Chain A
Amino acid sequence: MKNKELLKVTGLSKSFGGVKAVNNVSFTLYEGESIGVIGPNGSGKSTLINLITGFIKPDSGTVIYKGRNITGIAPNRAVNLGIARSFQMVRPFYNMEAYKNLIIPLYSPRVKKQLQGGNFGDRDEIAIQLLEDVGFERESQIPYKLTGSLPHGYLKRLELARCLCLEPDLVVLDELFSGMSMSEVASTVPILERILQEGRDMIMIEHRIRELFRIVNKVICLNFGKKIAEGTPEEVMNTKEVKEAYLGSEGESIA
């Protein structure tokens, strides 16, 4: 028997001018599941996430989250319902110390409500703790450095930490691993596994298939805005359309 539906996306579409970036995509995320979204460049993966998290309003289709229609909701309200996202292109606050970046999400209504009566008082302290969780060495200078001076791998993990600040129920990661070194990826995978074990669900866009398949238990493949495959990682990789999307079609299909 399946768990409760956490997120149900039905017939989601969005076009930019003549380009159908996302075309009639539907899928369902059950509680306790994690979904990976793969697809060639420009296949609409990021747009799909932007539609779900409210950064772009869809042309048609619905997004149901915890039984509630959140189609076209304001991004900040989506966050306060428990959907936290990271950006593919990092968007930190460059003019602050790294740990100060986390004060902003910690200031959100969601966290304020949850932390009331808890043993968290000092936001600076929680921020440093969270940074330590994603691999900022606590005793070093790194959390106190100006964000603009940090290497890209740290900025990516800062994005992750910003999601974790919000105590989300659904974590949406947009190509977290892109731009990370092999060792950074290797050290980030356990963090993601731990997030899943804490009972949070996850939607991950990723190009690093091997790491992705270690984390998620269901995969959606997009191509030209359309969903061309859905299922377990093995099923999806053996689908003809997916192979064609990635490797190009063979002779007979052209003819």
Chain B
Amino acid sequence: MKAGYRKERIDRGIKARADDIFAISSYREILYLTGPRILAVLALLIYPLLTDVTGAYWQTVAFIACIIALLTLSWNFLFSVGLVSLGQAYFFGVGAYFTGFFDRTIGLPPLYSIPLATVAGAILCTIIIYPVLRLRGIYFALITFALPLFLMRIIEATGYLGGTEGISGLQRLPGITFSLYVTVVIVLAVTFIFLRLFDTDYGLVLRAIHDNDMSVLAGGLNVQLYKAQAVFIAAMPATFAGALMTLHYRIVGMPAFAVEYSILPLTAAVVGGTGTFAGGVLGAFILVPFSELLRAFGTLRIVMYGIMLLFFVVGLPEGIYRFAQRKYFQFERIVPLEEKADEK
């Protein structure tokens, strides 16, 4: 920038009083507000229909992206309540194994086994995690990191639920287009519900726990109870992802607890912007195709991941979503600095 000039940022005049109250005076402004959202939703809804154009491979990539997006939504929810999770694989794996269990032992059709596994998995996850909920920050994160490994070893050691071989030959789902469509709809629904939930007074309490849990205690609320509820709500998208993935591939095994399902959502959340639900989804849809493109590099892929994470943590800690949002809602222009003499 030239000397004597500075960059001026001005908010567009459609925000009134607060960030979420708008003063709208024309259809163009409505379009301006809703445009990006409508475009994103339409893109997500139309993409699964384009199997002929994209080929089955990229449809599957989109499916994985949706699964990671669900895990990221779950991660962001926990983060918004002040619980940093390093073990999304825990929720994912529990959901996956429940589906396998219901399918194999009871023979439930997918229509019932998926919702049942989602809810039962979320309940089990909450019960297991409840005793450590009073831990904060890094201590809680460490426990969540250990939980999937712990469950994985239990299954390996006891040989229960198929042991090292897993449960295979589950019932068939109609196909990739169906699976993709279901996940897309669920991703959109969960994003919408989470956003709405955090705008209610209940959501405000959850956000407050993230800010300062001592103050919430002093406000007369049982923090432990609200955290447990949050874990239950946050677990559901993740257990659902596990359930659907299991039935899509018709197999569930110990890889359901793989570290990948913990690291990818975390990275996606950082890329998209921690604490933003739409940002997390965006992050997942950037990260997963990106990692597919890097497949040619083999193991070097991990290095690329590292570089990308480093770039975002250092260069853009607010994440892509908040950055884009800020740029979208602000005018920027170069204006000359006022002369010192003028100020007097």
Contacts and interface: CB of A to CB of B under 8 A. Distances in A.
Interface stretch (B151-159, B211-219, B281-289): B211-219
A84 B217 CA distance: 10
A96 B205 contact: no
Interface stretch (A34-42, A86-94, A243-251): A86-94
Interface string B192-219: 0000000001101101101110111111
Contacts of A237: none
Nearest to B216: A104
Contact of B221 (A91, A94, A108, A141): A108
Interface string B166-207: 000000000000000000000000000000000001101101
A63 interface: no
Interface string A68-85: 000000111001100011
A93 B221 contact: no
Given A100-B204, A104-B204, A123-B201, A95 B217 contact: no
A66 B187 CA distance: 52
B18 interface: yes
A158 to B, nearest CB: 10
A33 interface: no
B17 interface: yes
Interface residues of B, number: 21
Contacts of B202: 107
A107 B205 contact: yes
Interface string A93-113: 111110011011111111100
A166 interface: yes
Contacts of B212: 91-94
Given A100-B204, A144-B18, A105 B211 contact: no
A162 interface: yes
Nearest to A141: B17
A76 B222 contact: yes
A151 B261 CA distance: 43
A96 B218 contact: no
A109 B221 CA distance: 7
In the A-B complex, the 7 residue pairs with the closest CB atoms = A108-B220, A79-B220, A105-B219, A93-B211, A91-B215, A75-B217, A104-B219
Interface of B: 17-18, 201-202, 204-205, 207-208, 210-212, 214-223
Given A75-B218, A103-B204, 15 more contacts: A74-B217, A76-B221, A76-B223, A91-B215, A92-B212, A93-B207, A93-B212, A95-B210, A96-B211, A104-B216, A104-B221, A107-B202, A107-B219, A110-B220, A162-B219
